[in-house]
A = this chain, B = another copy of it.
């Protein structure tokens, strides 16, 4: 570790977008994770044929796109913002209503993380629903990988950390990756405790409670069900497309 003879690449975890400045210099690939629900919704959308998604950070920016005739989704604190076409439920895209469309999206946490990471060499979109496919892709790269969790309003969240831990655990198991940060070690530990029962493990998590209060239990179950797609969305020139 840190040894000059160690040729392994690094896989690390950053818990919140606010901490990204501590990590960004050292990583070629950033995987943005917002399990509940932005990156799960984006993976669903791309897997159901949506042509591209333009992530924007503010409601104002989203309104500008809306006034130009774009299809625009906007979510804040778990709810659809008034005047927009949809929020960040993955079920929005499940019936391929938006196949071949270009969509604009702003969410509380996920699109903020995408915006913060946008200047990295490669920005991928990760979630539990595409985790095996993502892990296979990453394991074939000779690059340092940073899992950037979106968190909840600048704070740590458990579901993104567990998803990041699944990536750390897999990449380390290949023998070609190592982690030197305690955030990565903790993510792996938390993933190993959670992996046999995500719903049970996360039952007391703050975000799950928040969404259950909004009657979004079906969304939660969907977001916590691994490997529903092998699509890996990538951010290129401000748009998320299929890799």
A183 touches B209 (CB 8 A): no
| Complex interface residues of chain A between 1 and 57 (CB less than 8 A to chain B) | 1, 15-16, 18-19, 22
A15-B15, A18-B19 are contacts. A182–B207 as well, Cβ < 8 Å? yes
Of the listed stretches A58-66, A83-91, A105-113, A155-163, name the one at the interface; the rest are far from the partner chain: A155-163
Interface residues on A, range: 20 to 34
As a 0/1 sequence over residues 153 to 188 of chain A, the CB contacts with chain B under 8 angstroms (1 = contact) are: 011111001000000000000000000111101100
Report if A206 contacts B (CB, 8 A). yes
Report if A189 contacts B (CB, 8 A). yes
| Copies of this chain present | 2
| Complex interface residues of chain A between 182 and 217 (CB less than 8 A to chain B) | 182-183, 185-186, 189-190, 193, 204-207, 209
**A209 smallest CB distance to B (angstroms):** 7
**Other than the known A156-B186, A182-B206, what 18 A-B pairs have Cβ atoms closer than 8 Å?**
A15-B15, A18-B19, A152-B182, A155-B181, A155-B182, A156-B182, A157-B182, A158-B182, A158-B185, A161-B182, A161-B186, A181-B206, A182-B205, A185-B205, A186-B190, A189-B189, A189-B193, A193-B193
Partner of A15, one of B156, B180, B193, B205: B156
Query: How many angstroms from the CA of A158 to the CA of B18 in the assembled complex?
Result: 19
Of chain B, the residue at the smallest CB distance from A152 is B182
> Which residues of A approach B to under 8 Å, CB–CB?
1, 15-16, 18-19, 22, 152, 154-158, 161, 180-183, 185-186, 189-190, 193, 204-207, 209
